[in-house]
Chains A and B, each alone.
Chain A
Amino acid sequence: MNESSIVIEHLGKKYQDTTALEDFTLQVGKGELFGLLGPNGAGKTTSINILCGLVKPTTGTATVCGYDVLKESAKVKELIGVCVQETAIYPYLTGVENVQLFGNLHAMDKAGLNARRNMLITKMGLTEDAKRRAGKYSGGMKRRLSLILALINDPQIAFLDEPTVAMDPQSRHAVWDFLKELKTEEKTIILTTHYMEEAEELCDRVGIIDHGKLIALGTPKELIAKNQVNNLEEVFLKLTGRTIREEA
């Protein structure tokens, strides 16, 4: 593994009586596309929220590019881009205005912002609709716009929390192509998904998380081979006795 972009050590998070994350330890290398897999409520979003500085862990530590997520969260926020699980866009702004706003929140210079805005809008196939109000977009277009907002600041590390959920196949493949391109730029990407084929297609390594615990870690091929099954879906079934889309 290259130099580590993310180092997580014995991370735990409890919400009153519920354990969302337990003794979670992981390192993600620079330029790696790491998949965090698991059913709803497994602890994927909690992990990302801790790494973004949104949630304080109950135990353990985490660093992003060497910065402690608790003590140096301002520095961490300058280096990351996050595509939140919700389709969080301002419906009364146009697509371009949404992107422009978040570029300004990252204090980007005007020329750099305009260039990156145009590039991302083109790559995500939103050029024709860029000046329409985002509230009028289809679900897939909103997700693509949400992804652009996460990446407008050209982050060193991108946290993509279920970025392709509810997307049509065409949009999903457009996103996949873009993520593959990001890998070539040495960007570190943490991708959460419960689409196993997405993880197999994109991820260098995956971690399977269930009931807040990391239960498997490796490349998709390693995990498939180790468990003597045909795909990651079956890996999860073998390890937990459930399919990934069943409620935990």
Chain B
Amino acid sequence: MKLQRIAALTKKELKKTIREPAVLFMIFLFPIIFVFAFGASFGGVGSSQTVTYHIGVVNMDHGSSVNASQTFLAALTDTKIINVHVYADNQTAQNDLSQGNVQAVMIIPSDFSQSLASYQAAPDNPAQWTNTTVSLYSDQGSLVATQAIPPIIQQTLTAMAGNNQQTSSPFQMQTASLAEVKTTSALDFIAPGMFTFASIFLIMMVAQSFTQDRENGMMKRMRITPTTPTEFMASQVISYMGIALIQAALVFAMTYALGFRPSVGISAYVFAFMLVMIFSVSNVGFGLITATISKSAGAATGLSFLFVMPQLFLGTFVGASLSSGAQVAGKFVPSYYVTNALTSLFLRGATINSPAILLDFAIMSVSCVAILTVGVALYAKYYKV
């Protein structure tokens, strides 16, 4: 393998990206415009579908004669919206929250039963009540979780008091952010998906590039030189990884300008950029598959949406309220794991070496290499490289 050839082809590919107006727009300007448009106008996420929220519960209630916390948890389960997972300690629950395994963690205080008993003994005399506080930590990577779960718990607590008309009760609910206390905007929720989003359109670029080179005889000319298929494909992968890196930098700059300020260190950013670069490998693979089945560059543009759309809709809005079917389907596209890892990193406060991020990273890396391998094999079988 000669680096001279790989460097020359990589340079050529980057020049193409900069000099071809259509490519320049699709790869760089479109994601920036998209981020700006969404960031500036995105007003929230709504859904009419019934979904289930998984919450972790650390029950510290010491009630003996009347265990009110059990009644409370049963009432939550009866809502059919909340799925309760009981944890022995707060640390384990918080770990699962940071990994995205549950969407909220609720701490039931030790005097919960006592508080309910005091209320039932003197419902009209607040001075006799033993006031207590239920703490709730929501998944900051999920817009829906932060907005939907607290009211459900609050309503159930109010119902526990036995009088829905009465607004005062001894139970207070305190919501807490897993990360530092800050206001989370809609932009924060969509930003991780934006990083992923930008790179997805490489599929179209790769497919168009290969079909165009095939149509105008460049691929044939390339095959007549001593350039090996490995050198050629290496140059393609390096080029598109570089482009993905630039895209990620541009998207980050735009989201930063719009107010996206995740409370993470520089290593998290480096890791995020690396994720996006590796993710671009799958897009080269999908692009090659598209080029294999496309007769012309025009057809490649249309057919590339077969891969662009699932990656886009199933994989870039992980924090949004997708249907359960879509959530399952999302796990079959690499973009899901990139967005999920970025969400864990930027919004849930998970560390780079946390199991959830490492798992996402591993699944994404393996799938990207597999997709590239399939793409190269298919293209080589039908057209040669």
Interface, chain A (partner B; CB < 8 A): 52-54, 74, 77-78, 80, 82, 84-90, 92-93, 97, 100-102, 104-107, 133, 149
Contact A74 B226 (CB under 8 A): yes
Q: Which of A53, A85, A106 has the most CB of B within 10 A?
A: A106
Contact (A84, B222) CB under 8 Å given A90-B12, A92-B16, A107-B4? no
Is there contact, CB below 8 Å, between A105 and B222? yes
Given contact pairs A77-B224, A105-B5, A107-B226, enumerate 9 new A-B contacts (beta carbons under 8 Å): A82-B224, A85-B217, A88-B216, A93-B15, A97-B12, A101-B11, A101-B12, A105-B9, A106-B225
Q: CA–CA, A105 to B11, complex, Å?
A: 12
Instruction: Decide if B5 touches A104 in the complex (CB within 8 Å).
Output: yes
Residues on the B chain within 8 Å of A101, using CB = 8-9, 11-12
A13–B223 alpha-carbon span in the complex (Å) = 20
Q: Which residues of A contact B15 (CB under 8 A)?
A: 92-93, 97
Contact of B226 among A87, A90, A100, A106 (CB under 8 A): A106
Give the CA-CA distance A100 to B2 in the complex, in Å: 16
The chain B residue with its CB closest to the CB of A81 is B224
Interface string of B209-245 (1 = CB under 8 A from A): 0000000111011111111100000000000000000
Contact A149 B12 (CB under 8 A): no
A to B CB contacts below 8 Å, 5 in the list: A54-B223, A82-B224, A90-B12, A102-B225, A104-B7
B225 contacts A105, C-beta separation under 8 Å? yes
Cβ A80 vs Cβ B19 within 8 A = no
Q: What count of chain B residues pass the 8 Å CB interface test?
A: 24
Tell me whether A88 and B218 are in contact (CB under 8 A): yes
Contact status B2-A88, CB under 8 Å: no
> Which residues of A have CB within 8 Å of B2?
107
Is B180 interfacial (CB-CB < 8 Å)? no
How close is B160's CB to chain A, nearest CB, in angstroms? 69
Partner among B4, B19, B221 whose Cβ is within 8 Å of the Cβ of A149: B221
**Candidates B7, B9, B217; contact of A88 at CB < 8 Å:** B217
CA distance A150 to B8 in the complex (A): 17
Inter-chain contacts of A52 with B (CB < 8 A): 224
The closest CB in chain A to the CB of B7 belongs to A104
- Name the residue of chain A whose CB is nearest to the CB of B5: A105
Report yes or no: B218 in contact with A90, Cβ–Cβ below 8 A.
yes
Q: Of the candidates B4, B12, B216, which one forms a contact with A93 in the assembled complex, judged by CB atoms under 8 Å apart?
A: B12
Instruction: Say which residue of B11, B216, B220 sits within 8 Å of A54 (CB atoms).
Output: B220
Complex Cα–Cα for A19 and B216 (A) = 25
